[in-house]
Every structure is written in structure tokens, then in C-alpha cells.
Structure 1
Amino acid sequence: MEVVIVDDSRLARTELRHLLGVFPDITVVGEARHAAEARELLATVRPDLLLLDIHMPGETGFELLASLEAAPQVIFTTAYDEYALQAFEVNALDYLLKPVQTERLAAALAKARARAAALPDPAATAAPEAPTEAATTPLTENDQVFVRDGEQCWFVRLSEVRLFEISAGYTQIYFDTHRPLIPRTLQHLEQRLDARTFFRANRQQIINLKWVESIEPWFSNTLKIRLRGGPEVEVSRQQSARFRELLSL
């Protein structure tokens, strides 16, 4: 498991490296002193896990996550206990208070291993591809994104998102029982999402094909799709033809 440490304290980073050294399956692939440095690092490496401080010069750890289009699993490491609830609201794996104890770190790493083991390995089925810039790499269903709507935050795996829908100049994201709004256009999302999983049904909606529950013919040779957990989506005539081609043998 590859790990990146983000902390403004050199001593804290050194201590975490030392603690991680006793776990043979853990490799520290980089360190950053603040959010800006972490963003640059995460543009070049894709670790499995982020050990992230909250209070840093400039932006907080939460603000760093909010700026990332995709993020690895996160364990917060901080000297402050008042942010624990907020940390778990963004679906962090764990929240470790400094000084970090070996036993607590071991338990947090066990959670990371368990969650990683539960995910399919995209490399096992994907054909080799030529290297591309990180900015053009599609976000797959296994990627995790940070979503913020006002004071509420979520850490969401894209496999859990069933629908993106235009709403009053924003895009609404459907996952679980939540419907947050983000300041992104569907055109931007269509360019960033893996087309093998996410399909542009019409001008207003992008659906996750793995959430399709039923399909029925609709007016003028179009289709109507019901997603598990709702809602129903009417596919435009042009996209209905593309949908049939996409899913036919």
C-alpha cells in the first residue's frame, strides 16, 4: 500500500515515517508540507492512502480535499479533537490524535487494507494504455471524490453515484439519500468521467449504467430508464440510438 504524508511539521512527518516503517506492506511515496505542495504531488503520484493533517499554513486538510477531483482514502492526523465529527462526515477512514500511537495507526491501516481489498482491481482487466497526463485521465467508478455543498461535505466513491443532473445552473449529484449541488457543468463531468460507466442520457442528465434497473421503449423511438433508488430518466432520441449501440452484442 502506497502512502503520502501531508503535515506542516517536519518532526510529525518523520515520526509518521518511523511508525509506518514497522509495517512491511506500507511504502511512503511522498511528503508534503501544505495543501499546495500536496496538490502538486498528487498530480504525479496516486497513493492508496493519505495521512493528512488538518491545521496547516494556507489551506486546511478539508480544503485540500475539497479541491481534488479524485482523492485516495484518508486518515486524518491532528493535535485537535474537535474536528472528529467533520472528519467522519467526509467518510475518512480514521481520525488519529497526535502523538499518534502505534496501536491506533495499526487499526487505521487495517481499515484501509479491508476497504482496498473490497474494491475490484481495475488493472486486472484493463488493457495497457499509453501514459497520459493526469488531468486527462478519466475518473473511474473506483475513484473517490470530495463533494461539498455549503457546510456539508461527503467523501464519495463514484460507483455510489447513480445520477448527475442539471439543477438551477449547478449539477445535482444523486447518491444514497443525498442530493448535493456542485458548481460543475455536465460537459465538464462528461469529459472527466469514464464513458464505460457514465452515459450522457440527455442534455440534463448523466447516468451510471451500473445503476440501471429497467429499460422500456418510450415515445418516438426513445427509451425510458429506471435507476435503482430512482429516478426515471428519459433518454433523448439521439442518445437512445447510441445507448442501443453501446449495449448491443
Structure 2
Amino acid sequence: MKTNTAVIVEDSRLARNELKELLKAHPTIEMIGEAENVDKGVELIKKTRPDILFLDINMPEKNGFDLLELLDETPLVVFTTAYDEYAIKSFEYNAFDYLLKPIPQERFSKTIEKIEKEIAQKKVAESEEKLSETSQIFIKEDEKCWLVTIAKIKLFEIVGNYTRVYFDTNQPLIYKSLNQIEGKLPSKTFFRVNRQQIINLNAIKKVTPWFNGKLKVELESNLEIEISRRQSIKFKEQLGL
């Protein structure tokens, strides 16, 4: 049974084939795509969202580091290269591992074993930390305190180093980043509409086409929120619009 997905970005067809041969010894990893340059690699990764990326460093025009700079989210990255001088730099990009070609099967297998443990631990941690609609969170601002059910929150919004939480008629500030909050919210209920805001989909009263392919939504309490162009596409897909 295949549990994790992988893509290869490598300009050498021979090297890509060698990696695919190495992967045959690991039936739990599904190879779902390959690309021979950075531009095609970025397109493939954004489309398939793999768990693992096997990435060459030296490629024509743009290198493996350039590819990582073009991604908003990165899978677990395993650099595969014939050169060892990039090892230190690779870990500045949070690389999971660095494999020197030609890659021995034993060394490759150890990397896969570590990857599978890492992904399994991450999934357990996410499931334990994830909030549900019925979860309650404690919010404190100055002398005021609230115990709020997640489903009642309409909007999270960045305000400087704080995040404003909208529920009922209250709008307290909490000292947490929007990224921290987003990682714990139920994804079927909450949607990141732009860099500054996350909305509760159940709080939407109206959706209106806006400028340049964007959308605007009106929430309860007449809150109007603009969805970025990129997120508008995802929003339509998620809601089947």
C-alpha cells in the first residue's frame, strides 16, 4: 500500500531513471511525476503537492535553490547531486537530506526510512493539535476573558504582530501569528482568503465578483473581505463555484 508521494526534478534522464529504480525497493512511496528543469518542476509540485521532493542542484538556467525560492509550500526536500560543496547551503533551505551521486541503495533506504518516520510523526502531531468546529479556545485581552467555540469565530485578521479575532460583537487581539492559527483550524470550515485574513466559510452571506478575477465576500455583521486573485481560484474550487 502506497502512503506517501514523491516527485523528481533532475535534468539528467539517466539520473531520474536511477532514482526511480531505487524507489522500486520502497513500495510505500508513489512516484507521481518528474521534471527536467526548474520551471516544469515548480508547475509539477504546485499541481501534485507531493510529500517528498528529490531535487538536483545543478541544472541549466535555474538551479535547485532557485526552485525552492519559487515555492510557497515545500515538501520534504532531498537534494541529489554529484557535488558535495553545496551541503551546508542545502540545509539553509531546510533540506531533509543530501545524497551524493551515485547513490547506494543502502544509503537511499536509510533516507526513506527517516522520511517515513518524519511524515508519520508529523501526521500524528497534526491530528492531535487540529481543532474541530466544536473545540473551544481561551482568549484573553487585558482583563477580559472568553471561552469561544471555534464555529462561532467569523474572521481572523492580522493587526501588526497580533491577530484580531471576530466573534459575536467582540474583536479581541491575541499574540499569535496567522500561520500558527491556520495550522490548527479545521480546513473544511476556515479559508485563508489573503495574506492578512482567514474567514469562516459558514459565516458568508454573499459572494460578489470583484476586480481582476478577485472575489469579495460579505460575512455576518456586514464585514466585507476581499479574496486575493490566487485564493479566489482555490475558493471557487473548494466551494464548487
TM-score, normalised via structure 2 length: 0.54
Alignment partner, residue 114 of structure 1:
117
User: Structure 1 residues 10, 201: CA separation in 2 closer, same or farther (over 3 Å shift)?
Assistant: closer
User: Residue 42 of structure 1 is aligned with which of 45, 68, 71?
Assistant: 45
Q: Structure 2: which 5+ runs fail to align? A: 133-152, 178-198, 204-241
Secondary structure of residue in 1 paired with 2:91: helix
Please say if residues 38 and 64 of structure 2, whose CA atoms lie closer than 8 Å, have aligned partners that are also in contact: yes
Please say if residues 6 and 33 of structure 2, whose CA atoms lie closer than 8 Å, have aligned partners that are also in contact: yes
Of residues 93-102 and 38-47 in structure 1, the stretch that sits farther from structure 2 once superposed is 38-47
Please say if residues 57 and 79 of structure 2, whose CA atoms lie closer than 8 Å, have aligned partners that are also in contact: yes
Q: Structure 1: which 5+ runs fail to align? A: 128-195, 210-220, 229-241
User: Residue 65 of structure 2 is aligned with which of 33, 45, 62?
Assistant: 62
Alignment partner, residue 92 of structure 1:
95
**Sequence identity (%):** 42
User: Residue 156 of structure 2 is aligned with which of 181, 190, 199?
Assistant: 199
- What are the Cα deviations for residues 44-78 of structure 1, in whole angstroms up to 9, with x where unaligned? 21111000000001111011001101111100000
What amino acid sits opposite 2:174 in the alignment?
Answer: I
Q: Does 1:27 align with 2:30?
A: yes
Tell me the distance in 2 between the aligned counterparts of 1:206 and 1:36.
36
Please say if residues 93 and 111 of structure 1, whose CA atoms lie closer than 8 Å, have aligned partners that are also in contact: no
Structure ID, larger Rg: 2
What amino acid sits opposite 2:123 in the alignment?
Answer: P
User: Structure 1 residues 227, 85: CA separation in 2 closer, same or farther (over 3 Å shift)?
Assistant: same
Please say if residues 199 and 206 of structure 1, whose CA atoms lie closer than 8 Å, have aligned partners that are also in contact: no
What amino acid sits opposite 1:54 in the alignment?
Answer: I
Secondary structure of residue in 1 paired with 2:123: coil
Q: Does 1:225 align with 2:228?
A: no
User: Residue 20 of structure 2 is aligned with which of 17, 21, 34?
Assistant: 17
Secondary structure of residue in 1 paired with 2:88: helix
User: Residue 6 of structure 2 is aligned with which of 3, 8, 29?
Assistant: 3
Report the RMSD for the aligned CA atoms in angstroms. 3.4
Tell me the distance in 1 between the aligned counterparts of 2:35 and 2:131.
31
Q: How does 1:159-170 map to 2 (within 5 A)?
A: none
Tell me the distance in 2 between the aligned counterparts of 1:41 and 1:225.
37
User: Structure 1 residues 114, 59: CA separation in 2 closer, same or farther (over 3 Å shift)?
Assistant: same
Tell me the distance in 1 between the aligned counterparts of 2:33 and 2:79.
16
Please say if residues 162 and 176 of structure 2, whose CA atoms lie closer than 8 Å, have aligned partners that are also in contact: no
Tell me the distance in 1 between the aligned counterparts of 2:30 and 2:122.
20
Secondary structure of residue in 2 paired with 1:120: helix
User: Residue 78 of structure 2 is aligned with which of 75, 85, 101?
Assistant: 75
Please say if residues 80 and 97 of structure 1, whose CA atoms lie closer than 8 Å, have aligned partners that are also in contact: yes
TM-score, normalised via structure 1 length: 0.53
Show structure 1 runs of 4+ deviating over 2 A.
120-127, 204-209, 221-228
The number of residue pairs the alignment matches comes to 150
What amino acid sits opposite 1:200 in the alignment?
Answer: E
User: Residue 106 of structure 2 is aligned with which of 103, 109, 130?
Assistant: 103
Please say if residues 34 and 57 of structure 1, whose CA atoms lie closer than 8 Å, have aligned partners that are also in contact: yes
Larger relative contact order (Cα-Cα within 8 Å, sequence gap ≥ 6): 1
Tell me the distance in 1 between the aligned counterparts of 2:84 and 2:28.
29
User: Structure 1 residues 123, 9: CA separation in 2 closer, same or farther (over 3 Å shift)?
Assistant: farther
